[in-house]
Chains A and B, each alone.
Chain A
């Protein structure tokens, strides 16, 4: 196992109260695997990953509990220096907005080679050669000239390519991609995802893909965590998640995807909004919005349990076998397309 995260809790201590951004999540990541983490804004998916590299601002953030074992090192409790040696070297990250994640005052070439310079102490000229090769690999044309350009001369898609080259230049074991395509338009999105997949295949890098686009998950990930209000509500293989949803939230999300072949019907939405993370309630956090919710959902202790082989759900009624959920067609069709 490449990475084993257990019982991770990250709270933000703000004036308005304690915000339980990540409230006890556990997951594992295998070598070369692609793990998707989906959830809406504020569900804690980004915070969870930032916590892994201790990148959340502390204070107000605080890691309340948990371990994250990576090659025998607990990322949450190791020394700052040890962690710096892992960041950008063995675990890299790419960010949501490529327009702001490059330093506007540094040449592209200098930024791409920075990880090599600090982690491998590589001489500048050698690092530049490696940087040029890395940029060529992510599809940048006319590399020698572009390395001397500044970020503002690049388009969003090109900048994200530069970010990917920078993140992968040290051949990390894990790449965390935090909504890498959200800020890009659709055609560029597909190119960037394809690029990440290609690099992953060539190097066997494990990828954690954070996204709120369940469509991207369907075509990209091996395994998926669905997060809601700082907790994992469902964990399954991609096929399992879409063909056999085991949590009402997942089912509702899938129904909210517009399908091409279902004309004339109103698009399904999830009523209400996510709970306020600073006011923890007993029971299932999704219960107030759930069409299947009954009284015990609000009162019982909710835990994630295996309800089918390698398929975990935090829905009490599914665990008890009281309800049976059906997949929406839009996504399962897409998966069928992908696998055929």
Chain B
């Protein structure tokens, strides 16, 4: 924005805008202020930052390696040397959780970001243009929806080899469908709102209407659905890994750890509890942050 302008010498109406307005006011800026007032959201954001930092920096600070085994030790409950215990191969659980967090968080956030971008753009275009274009675009969505996911992933792996990026691509390719449907529905209902007609009557271009008027109004449901997408992506990744299509040992992810932990939860419950806690904590924080963001972005929800 070319918001900052010299104080006007030849002010046509003889008044200067107050400095606060001059800086430019955007929805995001307001939302940020409102979000900062929401204690739960701020706490959740902090927890998320800590989890992310711990996952990406933590493993390098620990004495143990995620892959070094100690078969003589085997599975031991938490104690001074291994704070969260070890798994059946004697590998330190804390490091494995931190290391697995890298994969889970990366997959969760990246795939959601991909789904969000494609879904929002696709859904907005379909909903805004309507008619035959919309019908055609949504039939494509239906067709992709109808493809069995596992077959789709296996095909991808067969053609492009087993690459980690493909995991993002595969999950993103599925998750954007629902997002597109949700956004399309939102946009279609917004399309008939009077303020959109008013914006058209003011001579705004379609792009400007979409970005300035439609997407901000559809943000609430988009954000809520995005925060719901992150956990389902993490679980999908676990499912793919379980089939041998995702992360391979000795690498790990939360999904894989939970899977392993669930197999032996009667003898070694800590193997399920701690990875489960890590996942739950992350998802809780994401949901609270998502709720906070939704409220912060809605000027009507502001209490001051």
Report A's interface with B, CB cutoff 8 A. Answer: 53, 55, 57, 59, 83-89, 92-93, 95-97, 100-107, 109-110, 114-115, 118-119, 123-126, 128-130, 132-133, 144, 147-148, 150, 152, 163, 166
Instruction: Say yes or no: A105 contacts B202, CB within 8 Å.
Output: no
Q: Let me know if A148 and B200 touch, CB within 8 A.
A: no
Establish whether residues A109 and B25, one from each chain, have CB atoms under 8 Å apart when the complex forms. yes
Q: Please state if A100 and B203 are interface contacts (CB–CB under 8 Å).
A: no
Q: Which chain A residue shows the least CB distance to B220?
A: A105
| A105 and B194 within 8 A (CB) | no
Residue of A nearest to B5 (CB): A125
- A100 contacts which chain B residues (CB < 8 A)? 193-195
Name the distance in Å between B281's Cβ and chain A's nearest Cβ: 32
- B20–A129 contact, CB under 8 A? no
Q: Is the Cβ of A97 less than 8 Å from the Cβ of B203?
A: no
Per a CB cutoff under 8 Å, which of B2, B12, B203 touches A88? B203
Establish whether residues B300 and A150, one from each chain, have CB atoms under 8 Å apart when the complex forms: yes
**A132 contacts across to B, CB distance below 8 A:** 13, 15, 17
In the bound assembly, the distance between CA atoms of A183 and B198 in angstroms comes to: 16
Instruction: For B15, give its contact among A106, A109, A114, A129 (CB under 8 Å).
Output: A129
Instruction: Pick out which of these stretches binds chain A: B35-43, B209-217, B272-280.
Output: B209-217
A15 to chain B, nearest CB (A): 14
Bound-state Cα–Cα, A148 to B300, Å: 14
B299 to A119, Cβ gap below 8 A?
Answer: no
Total chain B interface residues with beta-carbon distance under 8 A: 43
- Which of B8, B199, B202, B208 is packed against the most chain A CB atoms within 10 Å? B202
Interface on B for A, CB 8 Å cutoff? 1-5, 8, 11-13, 15-18, 20-22, 24-25, 27, 130-131, 193-195, 197-205, 208, 212-213, 216-217, 219, 297-300
The closest CB in chain A to the CB of B4 belongs to A125
Given known A129-B16, A129-B17, A148-B20, contact A103–B201 (CB-CB < 8 A) = no
Looking at A84, A106, A107, A150, which has the most chain B CB atoms within 10 Å of its CB?
A106
- Other-chain contact of B21, A57, A93, A119, A148 (Cβ < 8 Å): A148
Name 11 A/B residue pairs within 8 A (Cβ), A-sorted: A95-B198, A104-B299, A105-B297, A106-B27, A107-B25, A114-B202, A119-B203, A125-B8, A126-B5, A126-B12, A128-B17
**Interchain CB contact under 8 A, B11 and A118:** no
Whether A92 and B205, one on each chain, are in contact in the complex, defined by CB atoms closer than 8 angstroms, is: no
> Do A101 and B194 have beta carbons less than 8 Å apart?
yes
- A103, B217: Cβ atoms closer than 8 Å: yes
Q: Which residue of the partner chain B has the closest CB to A89?
A: B203
Choose one: A57, A105, A129; the contact of B216 (CB below 8 Å).
A105
With contact pairs A102-B195, A130-B13 given, residues A53 and B201 touching in the complex (Cβ less than 8 Å):
yes
- Are B25 and A105 within 8 A (Cβ)? no
Give bound CA distance, A272 to B180, whole Å: 47
Residues of B within 8 Å of A126, CB to CB, are: 5, 8, 12
Q: Say how far A233's CB is from chain B's closest CB, in angstroms.
A: 27
Q: Which residues of A contact B12 (CB under 8 A)?
A: 126, 129-130
Chain A residues positioned under 8 Å from B1 (CB to CB): 124
Contact pick for A103, options B4, B203, B213, CB 8 Å: B213
Minimum Cβ distance to chain B for residue A166 (Å): 7
Minimum distance in angstroms from A93 CB to a CB of chain B: 4
Contact B193 A105 (CB under 8 A): no
Add 10 more A-B contacts to A93-B201, A132-B17, A144-B17 (CB < 8 A). A87-B201, A92-B201, A100-B194, A104-B300, A105-B297, A106-B213, A109-B25, A125-B17, A130-B13, A148-B21
Cβ contacts under 8 Å, B297 to chain A: 105
Docked-complex contact A84 and B21, CB < 8 angstroms:
no
Bound CA span A267–B111, Å:
68
